[in-house]
Structure 1
Amino acid sequence: MTWGIQNTQAEADSQLAYSLDAGVNFIDTAEMYPIPPTQATHGKTEQHIGHWLSRNKQKREDLIIATKIVGAGFSYVRDGSPIASSSIAIAIDDSLARLQSDYIDVYQLHWPNRSHPHFANHWPNKLKPSTTDVAEEIEGMRDILSGIKKAIDSGKIRHWALSDDTPWGILTYLRLCAEMNIPKPVSIQNEFSLLHAKDWPYLIESCVFENIAYLPWSPLASGMLSGKYANGARPKGSRWTMLQRNGLFRDNLQSQGATKAYCDIAIKYNITPSQMALAWVDQIDGVTSTIIGATTMPQLRENLAAFEITLPEECLKETALVFKQFPAPF
């Protein structure tokens, strides 16, 4: 999601080549990327991937490419309309054109149409579920599924999935899929890290029991767990130096205290803070595959190496003590 603002096409090419050589085969993107989203850059990340695919067509079948349809709120995307069967049809064709591909492996709903407890909205009474018209919401989900079915039947998408949803969302879609004879969602991606583990255990249990892949995004808490923002630092070119919507709410005294403690543990065990944070996520039961991002090749190499690390038991114990002290820092 940095390709098109923080990264050039040449840098995207280098990252893809290195990742594939390292065994990566899953590429996640979205029509609203790069971040921060703007009308001028809308779809550029998909375009970067498509430009690479146009020059590496022989690799397409080896890859699982996932993208997402944006929800309501962006006036320059289908007039800010919510996700619906009609918007799905348009969005898929647009993504296919940008990706220069005949099909999308996993097509994801970027967030629910209803209000949802993500992006710092999970605190008590921040949302009021009692105000939701549940019957209307379910009818909207039926309409979405009808659009998903058409896309699957046409061969434009092979699977579909969720993002930024809840146990109720998962289980309601599963019930509707059974009722409408539509393939069930294959995965869900939600924010999950040492600083933001609200999906454990309730949503992750639902995923495991229902055989839905759980894909954590922002496992470094928007880069905070790398330690690079310690003591108010803002490294040149980093995301927190940019005008953006979903990063700085993570920066508070509790998060800073937790991050310092985690960084100290990582140093003690001779690994980088980023690698410890990624290895911790990877060792959580129920996590399927972790979505990582990097703006530089050194970051990419460091992050990929984390998945070769098994954190020792003593390290996990020390990490657990910090986690108990800061269970929900933002």
Structure 2
Amino acid sequence: MKKVLLGDSQLNVSTICLGTMTFGEQNTEAQAHEQLDYALERGINFIDTAEMYPVMPRAETQGRTEQYIGSWLKKSGRRSDIILATKAAGPSRGMNWMRNGETDLNEKNLRAAVETSLQRLQTDYIDLYQLHWPSRNVPIFGQKQFNPELERPCTAIADTVAVLHALVKEGKIRAFGVSNESAWGVSEFVKQADLQGAPRIASIQNAYNLVNRSFEQGLDETCYREKVGLLAYSPLAFGQLSAKYTDNAQAPGRLTLFPPSWSPRYLRASVFAASKRYAELARANGLTPSQLALAWCYSRWFVASTIIGATNLAQLKENIDALEISLNDELIAGINQIHEELQNPGQ
């Protein structure tokens, strides 16, 4: 499997990353270890997790995903074979049980988050440490417009960069990145890093899929010019682009197992309509809907690595195998036609 360098870091990652947000909720520890073993067999060296996982986030399960990865690392002895990424949660009213509700991205909270992640992961360093979402007010998770009325006190990006730089110098993290960020945020992180003589952010982990191509509206140019690699998450839009929900509205998965408040953007009627159109296009060309959606992400020039998740090995195999699919000009034209008619309903 092809590997790419993330930004100006020394992290050489596979173009497919194993996402683990189901470990500890939809997957047992044994199943998690099985997926990790299989991913490495297939050439994946990049594993992504978060202190918040698994989803749905709950006090009773928080941190369990990192614990499962940690037990696999201890059992397998393969720490040196992987690039391990995790994330620190940002401010949230709904997760007061996370570090006693102290989740702003300041020195106290980031140091506490790093230390607890290191303990759960049973390692003494994290390769890529990411900010799960910004400290400041920014439109994310289905919010489409910036609203200045939602401004709130927040930790300055300059202060956050200073903490992350210190953690790099201490050897606790090798590189750092952002997630659910905007073009302004990326530019400000780069600016502050340059002013402080700190490493620039190596990556941005944002949603990117056929029903949410908003990354192409300015972030693509920003990240290209600043050498920030996109880690595309939700390439199947919480399963919508597999067409399992258009085929069966009650199909088991995150959109039926968890409350609608968890992922309202993927429950919009326009997302169902677009998913149905993409599924028809895929099947008319001898592909499964999942293959079409993943092949699209895998083929985009600005995607450094696509984060895939699965609840069983059959799904994981299909997702990895889609890397071998090439989309011809006719298929790409068909995708772009649907996008023009139903633009970014999952944004």
Question: 1:89 and 1:252 mapped to 2: Cα distance?
Answer: 38
Structure 2 stretches lacking a partner, 5+ long: 1-20
Structure 1 residue 215, shift from structure 2 partner:
0.9
Question: 2:210 and 2:150 mapped to 1: Cα distance?
Answer: 32
Structure 1 residue 178, shift from structure 2 partner:
0.9
Change (3 A) 1:222 1:286: same
For normalisation by structure 2, the TM-score amounts to: 0.89
- TM alignment of 1:2-41, pairs within 5 A: 2-41=22-61
Structure 1 residue 130, shift from structure 2 partner:
6.9
Deviations 1:182-241 (A, max 9, x none): 1111000101110011110410111111111111100111110000001661223x1122
As a proportion of its length, which structure holds more strand?
Answer: 2
Deviations 1:23-75 (A, max 9, x none): 10100000000000000000000000000000112x21121000000111221
Query: Are 1:154 and 2:170 matched, yes or no?
Result: yes
Question: 1:258 and 1:243 mapped to 2: Cα distance?
Answer: 22
CA contact (8 A) 2:235 2:297 kept: yes
Question: 1:151 and 1:288 mapped to 2: Cα distance?
Answer: 24
Residue 60 of structure 1 is matched in structure 2 by 79
- TM alignment of 1:242-261, pairs within 5 A: 242-244=257-259, 245-261=261-277
Residue 85 of structure 1 is matched in structure 2 by 107
Q: Residue 265 of structure 2 aligns to a residue in which SS?
A: helix
Change (3 A) 1:231 1:251: farther
CA contact (8 A) 1:205 1:286 kept: no
Q: Please, what is the CA RMSD of the aligned residues?
A: 1.5
The count of corresponding residues between Structure 1 and Structure 2 is 322
CA contact (8 A) 1:192 1:219 kept: yes
2:131 to 85, 89, 109: 109
Question: 1:300 and 1:96 mapped to 2: Cα distance?
Answer: 27
Change (3 A) 1:14 1:231: closer
Q: Residue 206 of structure 2 aligns to a residue in which SS?
A: strand
The aligned amino acid for 1:21 is E
Between 1 and 2, higher relative CO (CA 8 Å, sep ≥ 6) is seen in 2
- TM alignment of 1:201-216, pairs within 5 A: 201-216=217-232
The aligned amino acid for 1:261 is R
Structure 1 residue 132, shift from structure 2 partner:
4.0
CA contact (8 A) 2:241 2:293 kept: yes
Change (3 A) 1:22 1:231: closer
Question: 1:95 and 1:8 mapped to 2: Cα distance?
Answer: 19
The aligned amino acid for 1:62 is D
CA contact (8 A) 2:139 2:147 kept: no
2:143 to 121, 140, 144: 121
Query: Are 1:195 and 2:217 matched, yes or no?
Result: no
Question: 2:149 and 2:249 mapped to 1: Cα distance?
Answer: 41
Residue 254 of structure 2 is matched in structure 1 by 239
- TM alignment of 1:265-284, pairs within 5 A: 265-284=281-300
For normalisation by structure 1, the TM-score amounts to: 0.94
Question: 1:212 and 1:296 mapped to 2: Cα distance?
Answer: 32
CA contact (8 A) 2:118 2:124 kept: yes
Q: Residue 32 of structure 2 aligns to a residue in which SS?
A: helix
The aligned amino acid for 2:97 is Y
Structure 1 residue 329, shift from structure 2 partner:
1.6
Question: 2:255 and 2:66 mapped to 1: Cα distance?
Answer: 23
Structure 1 stretches lacking a partner, 5+ long: none
Question: 2:55 and 2:186 mapped to 1: Cα distance?
Answer: 26
CA contact (8 A) 1:29 1:67 kept: yes
